[in-house]
């Protein structure tokens, strides 16, 4: 079975069984999602969702966050991973938004990556979730299960996986496909002991057919 054939089967299954697939981060606008995604690096969405309500209540806009210091922000985010770096990134990012983008979150991944603390994955998440751009964010879950399923073969990097997945999924489905893969990797195709017997897509999975 070719990667494209596998992908077509997965699309059909997910559209039927997971018609709604969305970020588990809590947000109400582009700035809130950008803050949450920066905080979520190597940290669980559950933990981030515990931190952001108070943080965003006190600093609801780029202008508000730009006017404070990373020492202040640190006190809000100290329970997430790498809090000192993330506090610095958030304040610097907010100041860039104010100085370079009129306080508005840009919609293009290339523009988003100019912001402090925003790498390719974060930029793709914001571009796809908020602006519905055909940008595929590849985190550890997406990277892992793309190999297991057989969508990629011996991928050397997240960027290589991203390019392959973008070539397999129709552009209009890429924002949703990103969440299909993340959620499947988070709850079913987990890293150490995948729940193959519970998996609805195992018949098209390269990993399952070899065990």
Annotated binding site: 189, 196, 199, 205
In the annotation, is 121 catalytic?
yes
Q: Which of 86, 88, 121, 176 is catalytic?
A: 121
CA atoms within 13 A on the CB side of 17: 13
Contact (Cβ atoms closer than 8 angstroms) between residue 10 and residue 204: yes
Active-site residue 210, yes or no? no
Which amino acids are annotated as binding site for [4Fe-4S] cluster, given as ranges?
189, 196, 199, 205
- State residue 176 phi and psi, 5-degree precision: -75, -40
84-90: long-range contacts at Cβ-Cβ below 8 A with a sequence spacing of 24 or more? 85/117, 86/38, 86/39, 86/41, 86/117, 88/116, 88/117, 89/38, 89/116, 89/117, 90/35, 90/38, 90/39, 90/65, 90/117
1: buried, middle or exposed (CB in 10 Å: 19+, 13-18, 0-12)?
Answer: exposed
Please identify which of the residues 139, 156, 193, 195 carries the catalytic annotation: 139
User: Among all residues, which ones are annotated catalytic?
Assistant: 121, 139
């Amino acid at each position: 079975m070719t990667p494209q054939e596998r992908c077509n089967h997965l699309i059909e299954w997910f559209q039927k069984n997971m018609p709604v697939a969305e970020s588990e981060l809590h947000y109400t606008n582009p700035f809130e999602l950008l803050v949450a995604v920066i905080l979520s690096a190597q940290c669980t969405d559950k933990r981030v969702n515990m931190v952001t309500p108070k943080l965003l209540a006190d600093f609801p806009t780029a202008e508000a966050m730009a006017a404070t210091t990373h020492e202040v922000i640190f006190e809000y985010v100290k329970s997430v991973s790498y809090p000192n770096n993330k506090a610095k990134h958030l304040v610097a990012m907010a100041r860039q938004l104010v100085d370079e983008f009129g306080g508005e979150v840009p919609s293009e991944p290339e523009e988003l990556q100019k912001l402090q603390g925003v790498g390719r994955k974060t930029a793709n998440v914001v571009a796809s979730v908020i602006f519905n751009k055909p940008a595929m964010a590849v985190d550890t879950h997406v990277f892992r299960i793309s190999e297991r399923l057989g969508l990629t073969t011996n991928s050397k990097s997240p960027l290589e996986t991203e390019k392959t997945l973008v070539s397999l999924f129709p552009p209009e489905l890429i924002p949703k496909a990103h969440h299909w893969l993340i959620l499947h990797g988070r709850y079913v195709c987990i890293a150490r002991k995948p729940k193959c017997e519970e998996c609805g897509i195992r018949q098209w999975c390269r990993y399952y057919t070899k065990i």
